[in-house]
Amino acid sequence: MGLCLKLRTSRVISAIVILGILTLSVAECRNNHNHHRDNGGKIEYPAINCRKHSAVLTDFGAVGDGKTSNTKAFNAAIQKLSTYASDGGAQLIVPPGKWLTGSFNLTSHFTLFLHKDAVILGSQDESEWPAIPVLPSYGKGRDAPGGRLSALIFGSNLTDVVITGNNGTIDGQGSTWWKKFRAGELNVTRPYMIEIMYSDQIQISNLTLINSPSWFVHPIYSSNVLVKGLTILAPVDSPNTDGVDPDSCTNTRIEDCFIVSGDDCIAVKSGWDEYGIKVGMPTQHLIIRRLTCISPDSATIALGSEMSGGIQDVRAEDITAIDTESGVRIKTAVGRGAYVKDIYVRRMTLKTMKYVFWMAGNYNQHPDLKYDPKAIPEIKGINYRDVVAENVTYSAKLDGIQGDPFTGICISNVTIALTEKPKKLQWNCTDIAGVTSNVTPTPCALLPEKKGVDCAFPTDRLPIDDVQLKTCSAGL
């Protein structure tokens, strides 16, 4: 497999390799991540909370033929089950079948459970996707000025919500949306696949998500979020199909995910320019572990570029990237304000990469011309350690902002093996400061060698790491 990846003479070879890896990965997800047992007709699954009441989607007139719209059935089911929120909560089971639907809204103390042979299909009828207000920390839609459409699975102001399954599938049928976007035919922002806003205690786990119209999983203005065991798949040339985008969230854990994307596998965000500064909600106390990413034109993990509420205390470990543009990338610009600080990364394995380390202070996409040119972001305390990379074109491109250097960069115990035709200048550094230790190839002069340094990684536990999952059951 490694040899094939090194060849990469065309996207065809990449596609063949990716298909091979996908087959392995989905099988691994089914075997290792789900821990489901069929116990006398009941399926057991792990969740933050179990439910006293249960219903099946077909109880509400749903038809799983892949053609009949089930938007009304989903909404009727969830409205009925919401009445049990104060009586032990409820779960809605999506049975085997293909369940076409537009956007629907979740409720509190609720579990949406997908059987392994269930497929939720996103409707291609735009009228089934209600328009909703733009995000206050963004000020406008990301695709177009005319607002945005509700996510396929949406929730706001909720407590204790679980979206899970024994590797059931949600297919956003995104290709129609991608074509409209590329043709400039949209005057609204495309829907996301899953978006949960202003909520607490969220679990999204053990599912296969494919072909979202835009971002896949978007928790925003929320806390205590667990994302686990997802397989996320989109064509590597699909527009803005980020995998998981924690946005102005506190106490989030993303683990055991396999992501193939046309954009960043994980994009950490907190608002855009003056709108994000005004809302002022950082993303903080974020754990990312055991992630595998394939994204030839984007980052394994991006911090920004919309980071105007701040990003702090991110802990990423045991990260694998294959045929991906960069590792952990920082994207920011004048006008963003706020900060990216106290970032900790260790144990990255990278194969066939354009960049290992990439920081950009000139990511000049703005919502409008009202941004404050004096809103200078602070980038400091960025720690990378224990990285092995092979078939690399550039070791590092690290560009701070003139008059506003990125400081406190620490890189230790890194071995980078280069492609057969590497760039001559391996470390391209401007407006940065920090140290390195035991790094090959030799870093730039702005990151001098300091022997014996091990870059920091916190030893304390975050509260989200202490969340214990219960064994729950679902019967058809």
* Cis peptide bond upstream of 46, omega within 30: no
Q: Which helix (H) or strand (E) holds 233?
A: strand 223-233
Residue 71, SS3 per DSSP: helix
**470/88 Cα distance (integer angstroms):** 14
Backbone angle region of 190, left / alpha / beta, with phi > 0 → left and psi within -120 to 50 → alpha? beta
For residue 466, give every residue at least 6 positions away whose Cβ sits within 8 Å of its Cβ, in sequence order, or none: none
Report whether 109 contacts 160 (CB < 8 A).
yes
Active site residue 125: no
**Is 458:284 a contact under the CB 8 Å cutoff?**
no
* Residue 259 · residue 288 · CB < 8 Å: no
Given the DSSP bridges, would you call strands 299-303 and 266-268 parallel, antiparallel or unpaired? Answer: parallel
As given in the structure block, the two tokens for residue 373 are: 């040119």
Amino acid occupying residue 261: S
Cα-based distances in Å from 123 to 67, 152, 189, 190, 212: 9, 9, 16, 13, 11
Q: Of the listed 171, 247, 256, 263, which one is catalytic?
A: 263
Residues 147, 127: contact at Cβ < 8 Å? Answer: no
Could you give the residue numbers annotated as active site? 263
